[in-house]
Chain A
Amino acid sequence: MPFIPHTDDDTREMLESIGAKSIDDLFDEIPAELKIDSLDGIPDAMSEMEITRLMRERAAMDGAPLCFIGAGAYEHHIPQAVWDIATRGEYYSAYTPYQAEASQGTLQTIYEYQSMITELTGLEVSNASLYDGASGLAEAALMAVRSNRKAKSRQVLLTPGVNPTYAKVANAIAGSQGLTFDYLPMDTSTGNLKPGALDDNADPVAVVIQQPTFLGTLEDVDRITDWAHARGAFVIAIANPTSLAVLRAPGHWGEQGADIACGEGQPLGVPVSSGGPYFGYMTCKEKHVRQMPGRIIGRTIDLEGKPGFTLTLQAREQHIRRSKATSNICTNQGLMVTAATIYMSLLGSDGLAAVARHSAGNTARLVAGLTSIDGIERLFDGPAFHEVALKFDRPVVPVLEALAAKDILGGYDLGADFPDLGDALLVCATETKTEADIDVYVEAMREVFA
């Protein structure tokens, strides 16, 4: 369905018929002192030719280094078919469909996506996606407040393994709406929740548990889930979708399961890139669906009894509910979700589990190699998924710079986010790394430490 913009004639005609002289007239009621002519730090517009050249130059600066950074975005092999199909004209739109029911194919794709992501997370309903994992947490927290009506508290507790960027984003979005986000204390010897940290007097509206943790460890999700539910709090799970092929789904955590799951969908067929676009997923128990933000596609039958797909539960969205809508989110990351759906379809559950196992195996191999070097040891002993924190006997930054000079992105420096952990580096080797790649990294590190 083509999008046809207004011509100058259209615009003139419309302005004439309402008696306005110019487009600017329409914004007359905004006081002049609130209007700005230019944005600080935003350069003048460039021509297509200029911008293409600039972007090529910038992209070339990236080179093609061996990447061992994870920390929330993960490099996975993306079968060629994923983006070949996703960029076909029938699919190629960044947007949620308008005149939705005329776009049955798009709706079916999203419905299939929702079905897959609910299966992965072990929950009952999914929306059509959100912007990214971090804003997904903010939406999940706001949703928990709306849905957990018995709770008067506005405190959201975070396990220490919640991605620090997610906490910052959630606070930026939901902090101004009266929610507070507080981390539970970490045991710096395990990277997990400190024993005794689950205070029986706590009264949070929701508890956020990330599994695997940002530091790559595995948290005791059952115990924390049950503790939260005993306090009348909702449980919000953040999980890497790849990990869910081998780890227990949030819907089965503890006695009752998590109430809401959210996270970053990028590992499912979306390439790593600075700043996205990525997509956030969100699933929940069916009883909370009316408080779920975003679009939801349903399957139904038409007047002739034929199956069809439709936008459902729209009455809670802002085009109907206006200022009282459950959320301002009324779009989805259509193109990213299309890629993720094709990715999951091509791999299947066995394929996704193979990706997860290979990634975990490669990381274990990498860690064994790196910790054979004097001056590097594991920061935590417990089990890990495909990401491990290492402790250095020297500052991390010069080491990363020396590795970068050898065209290796060595990992994520934990110093800024976790100063208590000392000189620490988070490394990840997904299935994209060969044994030779890992050996190259280990030998390069050995030279740096020599």
Chain B
Amino acid sequence: MSELPGDLQYTSDHEWLRREEDGNVTVGITDHAQSALGDLVYVELPEVNQEVENGGDMAVVESVKAASDVYAPIGGTVVAVNDALSDDPEAINNDPYGEGWIVKLEPSGDEGELLSPDAYQALLDDIDS
């Protein structure tokens, strides 16, 4: 059973996002995603000021067995990246919703449907069954 904070929104690609008070959103991958990938060894981060489209490639997370794209859950401009992941990619394994955040975006308004915690949980239940 993976952990699922109630104050976040999710995508079917297993990213989460948190809407911050300053209007920006913080993005990471879910506990389920990190667990499926296994021990992460590398995170390729975007450049600050880079613009990303809703659903476009934003980052790459690499474990010993796979490398996966992290897609932008909404469109926007990258305002911050979690540089600490360069030295400590396992922060995503250890604390996916906290220290393991990947990118902060300034939303451009290019947004699609996001999943509520319950909807995402239903998706996970579907995968498990």
Contacts and interface: CB of A to CB of B under 8 A. Distances in A.
B66 interface: yes
Given A315-B67, A321-B67, A150 B62 contact: no
Contacts of B62: 290, 315-316
A152 to B, nearest CB: 10
A316 B67 contact: yes
Given A290-B42, A315-B62, A320 B47 contact: no
Nearest to B41: A315
Contacts of A149: 47
A284 to B, nearest CB: 16
Interface string A153-190: 00000000000000000000000000000000000000
B69 to A, nearest CB: 7
B42 A320 contact: no
Interface residues of B, number: 11
A417 to B, nearest CB: 39
A324 interface: yes
Contacts of A320: 65-67
A150 B67 contact: no
Contacts of A150: 47
A232 to B, nearest CB: 13
Contact of A324 (B41, B42, B64, B69): B69
Q: How large is the interface on A (under 10, 10 to 19, 20 to 34, 35 or more residues)?
A: under 10
Interface in A393-417: none
A415 B76 CA distance: 55
B65 A315 contact: yes
A316 B44 CA distance: 12
Interface string A315-329: 110001100100000
Interface string B52-93: 000000000011111101000000000000000000000000
A324 B59 CA distance: 13
Contacts of B44: 290
Contact of B64 (A290, A315, A316): A315
Contacts, number: 20
Nearest to B46: A149
Contacts of B67: 315-316, 320-321, 324
Nearest to B69: A324
Main secondary structure of the interface of A (DSSP, over half): helix
Contacts of A321: 67
A299 to B, nearest CB: 16
Contacts of B69: 324
A324 B60 CA distance: 11
Contacts of A324: 67, 69
A10 B90 CA distance: 46
A446 B100 CA distance: 76
Q: Which of B41, B63, B65, B67 has the most CB of A within 10 A?
A: B67
Nearest to A325: B67
A20 B66 CA distance: 33
Interface in A277-304: 290
B90 to A, nearest CB: 15
A120 to B, nearest CB: 28
A372 B64 CA distance: 64
Nearest to A321: B67
B56 to A, nearest CB: 13
B66 A315 contact: yes
A324 B63 CA distance: 16
A90 B73 CA distance: 52
Nearest to B47: A149
A316 B47 CA distance: 20
Nearest to B44: A290
A315 B40 CA distance: 11
Q: Which of A149, A315, A320, A321 has the most CB of B within 10 A?
A: A315
A150 B49 CA distance: 11
A315 B63 contact: yes
Contacts of B63: 315
A320 B69 CA distance: 12
Nearest to B86: A287
B95 to A, nearest CB: 22
B99 to A, nearest CB: 22
Interface of A: 149-150, 290, 315-316, 320-321, 324
Given A315-B64, A315-B67, A324-B69, 9 more contacts: A290-B42, A315-B41, A315-B62, A315-B63, A315-B66, A316-B62, A320-B66, A321-B67, A324-B67
Interface of B: 41-42, 44, 47, 62-67, 69
7 contacts: A315-B41, A315-B63, A315-B65, A315-B66, A316-B62, A324-B67, A324-B69
User: Which 8 pairs, one residue from A and one from B, show the smallest C-beta to C-beta distance?
Assistant: A315-B67, A315-B62, A321-B67, A315-B66, A149-B47, A320-B66, A316-B67, A290-B42
